[in-house]
Amino acid sequence: MPRLLSGALRLRRDPRMLKLPPYLSLLCILVGVVWLFLLPLDEYSRRTYISENALLPGQVHTYFGGSDQNVFRAYKHEVNSLVGKSNVEINDKLESIVKGLGLKAGRQNFTYRSAGRVYSGENLYAILQAPRGDATEAIVLVAAWENAKEELNRNGVALVLTLARYFKRWSLWSKDIIFLVTPDSIAGPQAWVDAYHDAHDSARVDSLPLKSGALQGAIAIDYAKEGRFESVHIVYDGVNGQLPNLDLINSVVSIAGGQMGMGVAIQEMWGHNDQYPDRLRTMLRGMLKQGLGLASGPHSSFIPYHVDAVTLQPFGDGWQDEMAMGRVVEGTFRSLNNLLEHLHQSFFFYLLMQRERFVSIGTYLPSAMLVAANFTIMAIALWVKSGQPEGEAEPVKMEADGIGSGETTRAPAVERDLFLPLGVVTICQFLAVIPFYLFNHAPDSMLTPAFTIFAVINTALPHSLSHLLTTYYTPSAQQYQLIKSFSLLLLGMFLSSLATLNFSLAFLVGLLTSPLTFMRPWPQSPAMRTACTVLLNAVSPTAVLVAAAFAWHLDINTVLREAAFAWDVCGMYTPVVVWCVWWPAWLAGSVTVLGRPEVGKTKQKTT
């Protein structure tokens, strides 16, 4: 045992130890990526199951149908007559309808400003008070007048009105039911949920005139499609990649898929054969959506308030009609009605790869953590390395003298010059405020020009910074090591904490910044320097943004406007991560690559 210990200690002194970290980092990244690709296999993913005993999905007969079909047609007629009218006129009509049903109705104005645009409208909602309940809890049924793709949600609104009338006839509700009709899919629900929880900015959003109990769940109907449908698409991504409790999705899958016998899809996978490629595609789509953190429907705004919500979209051509959709909602509401407390039993952190297959956080988190850890490993290695004298040949020779000599003849640690590296990293971090402010406050028309100018400056910035550094400060190799060390340390820290909040975003950013681990100054080799610079420019935030916009056939203006809107209205923090975590790390890395350390400077200082 002591022999082993001394062996380990000697290994610690071994200079070869310092050559290990880059390989270790590389291994971390590789394992992290391979890990992710293993997840869709049967051995690593699990079948979904209902954890909450109270839900009992699909155990009730649903009676929505029959004469309700005629009611639906009548309401559809009313809705059709409102098409093209103003928001207030629509709400006037809808209010008279819900009041006619004997429900209490309320209206709420909101006006958001983002990227020089005004998003305003008026929400209308009605509360069905539980006949025998105690009004301490409520569930919400949402239909936006326009869905996320700005299509008219005619059937959705008509269905909500029909269901309001139908639900009013039942006496078995233990919770109040709130019917909410919003003019759009993002801002309206956001304003309403904010105001419901008194978390709204009263300058932009009016308070609600009427409230009920604590929200336990919400279902949004996005039914713009005309005619019969085949399956239901469950949209579940919330703002900032937050997800509703898995039990809610499982309940809908069990009711729609099991009880009603219709297909269920997630992540726009219209056909899913439950094989590895489809599972992987579903998972990656989910991760991408989660990583972007955008609101994907009226349900998204509810999730940050811990109100589990999903949007249901009918799709495909089949024989299911509006009544079938209504029955799915009825079944889900009966399940939610059974709840005794908030959904809490099942998972909040998961990746779905098929409607009945998932991996939980314990299984997938190591993947992003490993990627984040690679930065920390490298940062520590660089810190150690920066404390050792240059020229590694000496200790190797000494080791040949005999055992134990390594300890006695070890060169003393070199003093680290911290001011410059810390200064550079701090400046990089603070510079991040500029793009962040710029893209969140520039008016719509200025976004594209601003981005173009920024992209150009961004390419030139490392060069100019590097030039400034070398002319005024002539940093040593040690200082470059320290710049990189501090920058990577910050990156590793940010990403590992982010991984617990938004796994996908942390993983994506980690992957795109992984080249930074291996960047170092190339004073002797201009070819390597150029190659590294080109590589870094290819994975710069601006280049990735352009590439992504190109890949999805979006113009950069839309992307930036949506991002600004999401930041202003929904509080999406992806821009913060991009500009204040990713971009500074990238900048520091680029400066390091372009650095020309003065050889021998460290030695002079230490002697």
Partner 1 sequence: MKLSSVLRLPALLAATLFTTAALVEAEHTSNWAVLVSTSRFWFNYRHLANVLSIYRTVKRLGIPDSQIILMLPDDMACNPRNAFPGTVYSNADRAVDLYGDNIEVDYRGYEVTVENFIRLLTDRVGEEMPRSKRLLTDDRSNILVYMTGHGGNEFLKFQDAEEIGAFDLADAFEQMWEKKRYHEILFMIDTCQANTMYSKLYSPNIIATGSSELDQSSYSHHADNDVGVAVIDRYTYYNLEFLETEVRDTSSKKTVGDLFDSYSYEKIHSHAGVRYDLFRGGAEAARSRLVTDFFGNVQNVEVDGTKNTTLEEDMLALSKTIAALRQKANEEEAALKKNTTADTESKQVPLQQKKIQFAKPLTDDNWWTKKIFGATALAGCAALWGLGSYFEAPRR
- Nearer residue to partner 1 within complex by CB, 21 or 133: 133
- Nearer residue to partner 1 within complex by CB, 30 or 56: 56
DSSP 228: -
Q: How far apart are CA 37 and CA 33, in angstroms?
A: 7
**Single-letter residue type at 65:** G
Q: How far apart are CA 249 and CA 219, in angstroms?
A: 11
- Nearer residue to partner 1 within complex by CB, 259 or 558: 259
Which tokens sit at 7? 């062996």
CB of 424 to partner 1, least distance (A): 59
Q: Mutual orientation of helices 433-441 and 447-472 as an angle, nearest 10°? A: 170
Residue ranges binding partner 1 (CB under 8 A): 53-54, 56, 59-61, 130-134, 170-174, 334, 337-338, 340
CB of 251 to partner 1, least distance (A): 13
Neighbour order of strands in the sheet with 214-221: 104-114, 117-128, 176-182, 137-144, 214-221, 309-320, 229-235, 263-266
- In angstroms, how far apart are the furthest CA atoms of the chain? 97
- Nearer residue to partner 1 within complex by CB, 174 or 386: 174
- Nearer residue to partner 1 within complex by CB, 173 or 573: 173
CB of 64 to partner 1, least distance (A): 14
Long-range pairs, 442-446, Cβ under 8 A, ≥24 = 442/115, 442/116, 442/564, 443/115, 443/116, 444/115, 444/116, 444/117, 444/557, 444/561, 445/116, 446/116
- Nearer residue to partner 1 within complex by CB, 87 or 250: 250
- Nearer residue to partner 1 within complex by CB, 340 or 434: 340
CB of 263 to partner 1, least distance (A): 23
CB of 170 to partner 1, least distance (A): 8
CB of 233 to partner 1, least distance (A): 26
Q: How far apart are CA 200 and CA 10, in angstroms?
A: 62
Angle at alpha carbon of residue 272, lines to 312 and 45, rounded to 5°: 95
305 and 193 in contact (C-beta within 8 Å)? Answer: yes
- Nearer residue to partner 1 within complex by CB, 171 or 202: 171
- Nearer residue to partner 1 within complex by CB, 174 or 240: 174
CB of 323 to partner 1, least distance (A): 18
CB of 167 to partner 1, least distance (A): 13
CB of 133 to partner 1, least distance (A): 5
CB of 51 to partner 1, least distance (A): 13
- Nearer residue to partner 1 within complex by CB, 119 or 173: 173
435 and 583 in contact (C-beta within 8 Å)? Answer: yes
CB of 164 to partner 1, least distance (A): 19
149 closest CA partner among 256, 78, 233, 85: 233
- Nearer residue to partner 1 within complex by CB, 54 or 535: 54
- Nearer residue to partner 1 within complex by CB, 61 or 149: 61
Neighbour order of strands in the sheet with 46-47: 46-47, 357-360, 350-354
- Nearer residue to partner 1 within complex by CB, 130 or 378: 130
Q: How far apart are CA 141 and CA 218, in angstroms?
A: 6
Q: How far apart are CA 89 and CA 190, in angstroms?
A: 22
The full DSSP string for 346-397 is S-SSEEEEETTEEEEHHHHHHHHHHHHHHHHHHHHHHHHHHTSPS-THHHHH
CB of 119 to partner 1, least distance (A): 39
115 and 109 in contact (C-beta within 8 Å)? Answer: no
Residues 201, 203, 205, 210, CA torsion sign: positive
- Nearer residue to partner 1 within complex by CB, 340 or 456: 340
CA distances from 9 to 3, 14, 22, 208, 412 (A): 10, 9, 21, 68, 17
- Nearer residue to partner 1 within complex by CB, 39 or 50: 50
E-strand stretches of 37-79: 46-47
279 and 353 in contact (C-beta within 8 Å)? Answer: yes
Q: How far apart are CA 27 and CA 23, in angstroms?
A: 6
> In degrees rounded to 5, what are phi and psi of residue 233?
-105, 125
Q: How far apart are CA 325 and CA 262, in angstroms?
A: 10
CB of 63 to partner 1, least distance (A): 9
CB of 55 to partner 1, least distance (A): 8
CB of 169 to partner 1, least distance (A): 12
Q: How far apart are CA 36 and CA 283, in angstroms?
A: 10
Q: How far apart are CA 58 and CA 321, in angstroms?
A: 19
